[in-house]
């Protein structure tokens, strides 16, 4: 009778106390053997097809892919294959047919292409490209968001900053939004400051050009050293107009005043100089002087 192999595991007696049971045997560790180089001929979801380089005309064999950081298999890659029992395992990469890349769990890849570092999504669409100190960020779909919930976001440029959009550009600040042009050390830089309590525009020279302008306000105050208005036609509609000045000069080719109620003038002295004829028409006329009344003319016609 053949003697049982010494390496057979003894079955413990379940009726005996735990202290009498034989200790568990350690798990056997597989040892990789007989490694060889091969070329990947096909890629599957969980395995690859390899052809040994020593027998390139042979039939491809299926091999599992060991965890190799940042490696995604592709056809024509040269890899190192080892045996693990009855299985083949790709354990190392010797040459990559495509550019070296790092793969993220969602399929996005970082790769080196023509000296540029590129980041593409799972479908191969370019997201970020960096080369010669210049970076280009352009997601094909979705939004691009820069966020610093606990800090500031600062963008600096040696030359220009350009912001362009096919729809809207919105700049919002809970406290204020400010747009400044010119060095801050000058006396009056051009600036637009928008706060919750109001908006302030400053500058050494401000121009407003528009086909039509409408200003609606509850109260308006104009303070200027000199103010000039030029227009083909000016219309003013108001309940009351008050003018206070040391001197008022009005020049016009024709001046027409129409008053439906009372027209009253209170002056210190009054003088009217008429180059041509002077005509006064009224329903009734009353002239009263505390002192003399003088009428001088070549002829005085009454009645």
Distance CA 182, CA 189 (A): 6
What is the reported pLDDT for 72? 77
pLDDT over threshold 50, residue 29: no
With vertex at residue 223, the alpha carbon angle to CA 238 and CA 215, rounded to the nearest 5 degrees, is 45
What does the pLDDT look like over 152-208, one tens digit per residue?
888 888 899 999 999 999 988 888 999 888 876 777 788 899 998 889 988 888 888
Q: Does domain 30-98 have CATH number 1.10.3720.10?
A: no
66-89, pLDDT tens digit by residue? 888 767 788 888 999 998 888 899
To the nearest whole number, what is the mean pLDDT of the chain? 82
- Could you give the percent of the chain with pLDDT greater than 70? 86
pTM, 2 dp: 0.47
Query: Does residue 120 come out as left (phi exceeding 0), alpha (psi in the -120 to 50 range) or beta?
Result: beta
Backbone phi, then psi, for 289, in 5-degree steps?
-125, 140
Phi, psi of 146 (to 5 degrees): -110, 120
CB 27 within 8 Å of CB 58: no
Please tell me the predicted confidence (pLDDT) of residue 8.
37
Alpha carbon distance 279, 180 (integer Å): 61
pLDDT single digits (tens) 226-274: 988 888 888 988 899 999 999 999 999 999 999 999 999 999 898 999 9
Closest CA relative to residue 112, chosen from 125, 102, 123, 127: 102
CB 93 within 8 A of CB 77: yes
Q: Where are the domains of the chain?
A: 30-98, 99-141, 170-202
């Amino acid at each position: 009778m053949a003697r049982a192999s010494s390496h057979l595991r003894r079955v413990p007696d379940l009726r005996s106390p735990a202290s009498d049971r034989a200790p568990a045997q350690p798990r056997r560790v597989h040892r990789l053997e007989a490694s060889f180089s091969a070329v990947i001929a096909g890629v599957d979801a969980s395995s690859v097809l390899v052809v040994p380089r020593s027998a390139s005309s042979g039939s491809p064999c299926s091999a599992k892919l060991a965890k190799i950081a940042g490696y995604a298999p592709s056809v024509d890659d040269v890899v190192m294959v080892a045996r693990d029992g009855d299985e083949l395992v790709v354990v190392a990469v010797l040459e990559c047919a495509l550019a070296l890349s790092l793969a993220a769990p969602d399929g996005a890849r970082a790769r080196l292409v023509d000296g540029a570092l590129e980041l593409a999504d799972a479908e191969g669409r370019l997201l970020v490209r960096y080369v010669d100190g210049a970076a280009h960020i352009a997601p094909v779909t979705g939004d691009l968001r820069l966020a610093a919930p606990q800090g500031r976001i600062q963008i600096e440029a040696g030359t220009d900053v350009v912001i362009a959009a096919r729809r809207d550009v919105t700049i919002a600040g809970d406290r204020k939004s400010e747009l400044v042009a010119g060095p801050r050390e000058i006396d009056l830089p051009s600036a637009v400051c928008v706060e919750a309590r109001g908006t302030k525009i400053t500058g050494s020279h401000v121009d407003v050009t528009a086909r039509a302008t409408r200003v609606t306000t509850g109260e308006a105050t104009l303070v200027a050293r000199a103010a000039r208005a030029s227009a083909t036609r000016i219309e003013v509609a108001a309940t009351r107009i008050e003018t206070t000045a040391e001197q008022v000069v009005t020049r016009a080719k024709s001046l027409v005043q129409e008053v439906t109620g009372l027209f009253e003038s209170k002056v210190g002295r009054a003088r009217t100089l008429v180059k041509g004829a002077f005509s006064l028409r009224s329903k009734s006329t009353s002239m009263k002087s505390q002192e003399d009344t003088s009428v001088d003319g070549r002829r005085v016609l009454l009645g």
